[in-house]
Amino acid sequence: MVSARPAVQALPAYRPGRNPADLARELGVDRAVKLASNEVPFPPLPAVVRALSETAGETHRYPDNGAAVLTAALAERYGVEPAQVVPGCGAVMLCQQLAQSFNDPGTAIAFAWRSFEMYPLLAQVAGARSLQVPLVPSLPGGSPDTHDLDALAAAVDEDTRLVFVCNPNNPTSTAVRRAELGRFLDRVPETVLVVLDEAYREFVTDPDVPDGLELMRGRPNVAVLRTFSKAWGLAGLRVGYLVAEDPAVADAVRRTHVPFSVSMLAQAAAVAALASEEEVGHRVAAVVAERDRLTTALRGRGLEVPDSQANFVWLPLGEPTAGVAAALEARGVITRPFAGEGIRVTVGTPEEDDVFLAALDDVLPGEPGARPDDVRPGAPVG
């Protein structure tokens, strides 16, 4: 009998956010709201739609294996050489390539926890150890929600090859500031690659949260990871990219890519999106304004919500998390729960967020500040 590797057999299945149409049919309601996957609530950019239409007639050919047009556009945008840029099939695929490129079995990958849920899975597949460093509260007396960079630096050992710093952090929405991140990068040994995972960089409004590309300059062991899936609205096309200070790092990652993994359509869409930066900026500003409104509304209900620098908010509910998420889903609202820790809620349209708030009020009855463990299952709302 053929058996997969034990490490693969032990992997938990990835659980994407539920399809809202499926939930609506299940509940017998007209519509369900999905606030689980950190997508932007806008349709594709007009320039992207045009680029897809114009490129569709060429899809009988293989795409450019190196995504040269996109690589050149990103290099020009960030003032780096094309040899420093690696496009990929989403940032997640690039994370996997990084582990394949730098981790042998028995080495280690270090990261904060909780953070992006793929990090420990990548280590497991690579046969590497996970060095998980607990988060600390961003506010006195609050729940753990932000990186402890001193502890993360201390956790790096002689076997560590890769460190991920998710900034802003997924799922807790917080971000570390310039001075502490700079000190951290200076402490990490030159033989360890630090990847600043900035999937949500475009939503950052705190001027003290640094652009990772600025901190990368002059540090050969630092690379920055970004994506077109969030602010740029291309989640369905799977395009991410890595920018490395040392071209040798980029070359190593490029060697482990799956050939033709950035499709012809994805490259055309990403290039068109970059050319629509002004419109993207307007969309991001709308998300940020709605994020602030949603945060204020939740805090007004007595809930603990850290300052978000992403396009989602974090509710550190602890043990009642699963029950609250299930009760919200029963009311047609899909969120992303992390059992025993909290719920991540994507910033949607004002209408969608109002549906979420109304459902939350029904789930947590009584006066503002009702305890999450007072949750009642209830019935779906129409």
Decide if pLDDT at 28 tops 90: no
Q: Are residues 139 and 261 in the same domain?
A: yes
Name the 3-class secondary structure at 338: strand
Widest CA span of the chain, in angstroms? Answer: 61
Decide if pLDDT at 248 tops 80: yes
What is the DSSP code string of 23-43? HHHHHT-S--EE-SS---SSP
Q: Are residues 260 and 225 in the same domain?
A: yes
Decide if pLDDT at 370 tops 80: no
Quick: pLDDT tens for 161-190: 999 999 999 999 999 999 999 999 999 999
Domain-embedded: residue 20: yes
**Domain's final residue, options 214, 241, 274:** 274
Domain-embedded: residue 344: yes
pLDDT for residue 29: 87
Distance CA 153, CA 163 (A): 9
pLDDT for residue 371: 54
Q: Are residues 215 and 298 in the same domain?
A: no
Banded pLDDT at 367 (limits 50, 70, 90):
very low
Q: Which domain holds residue 301?
A: 6-44+278-374
**Do residues 215 and 222 touch, judged by C-beta distance below 8 A?**
yes
Distance CA 342, CA 324 (A): 10
**At residue 247, what are phi and psi to the nearest 5 degrees?**
-55, -25
**Nearest to 143, CA basis, from 367, 303, 294:** 303
Question: What sign does the CA torsion over 229, 233, 237, 240 have?
Answer: negative
Six-digit token string for 139: 């506010």
Q: Are residues 51 and 137 in the same domain?
A: yes
Banded pLDDT at 368 (limits 50, 70, 90):
very low
Q: Are residues 326 and 250 in the same domain?
A: no
Of the two residues 11 and 380, the one the predictor is more confident about is 11
Question: What does the chain come to in residues?
Answer: 382
Q: Are residues 18 and 161 in the same domain?
A: no
Q: Give mean pLDDT, residues 5-22.
A: 79
Distance CA 10, CA 124 (A): 9
* E strand segments, 114-172: 129-134, 136-137, 144-146, 160-166
Q: Are residues 241 and 99 in the same domain?
A: yes
**Domain's final residue, options 274, 299, 318:** 274
Quick: pLDDT tens for 131-170: 999 999 998 899 999 999 999 999 999 999 999 999 999 9
Q: Give mean pLDDT, residues 297-315.
A: 97
**Over the chain, what is the mean pLDDT?**
94
Q: Are residues 237 and 158 in the same domain?
A: yes
Query: Which H helix or E strand runs over 243?
Result: strand 240-244
Quick: pLDDT tens for 31-84: 899 999 999 999 999 999 999 999 999 999 999 999 999 999 999 999 999 999
**At residue 226, what are phi and psi to the nearest 5 degrees?**
-140, 175
**Nearest to 94, CA basis, from 76, 114, 74, 113:** 74
Domain-embedded: residue 380: no
Q: Are residues 139 and 283 in the same domain?
A: no
**Domain's final residue, options 222, 248, 274:** 274
Q: Are residues 31 and 133 in the same domain?
A: no
pLDDT for residue 376: 59
Q: What is the pTM of this model?
A: 0.93
End-to-end CA distance of the chain: 51
Name the 3-class secondary structure at 215: helix
Domain count, the chain: 2
Q: Are residues 238 and 308 in the same domain?
A: no
Helical pair 264-274 and 46-56, crossing angle rounded to 10 deg: 150
pLDDT for residue 129: 97
Domain-embedded: residue 381: no
Distance CA 248, CA 47 (A): 34
CATH number where 111 lies:
3.40.640.10
Domain-embedded: residue 107: yes
Q: Are residues 65 and 12 in the same domain?
A: no
Burial class (CB in 10 A: 0-12, 13-18, 19+), 182: middle
CATH number where 289 lies:
3.90.1150.10
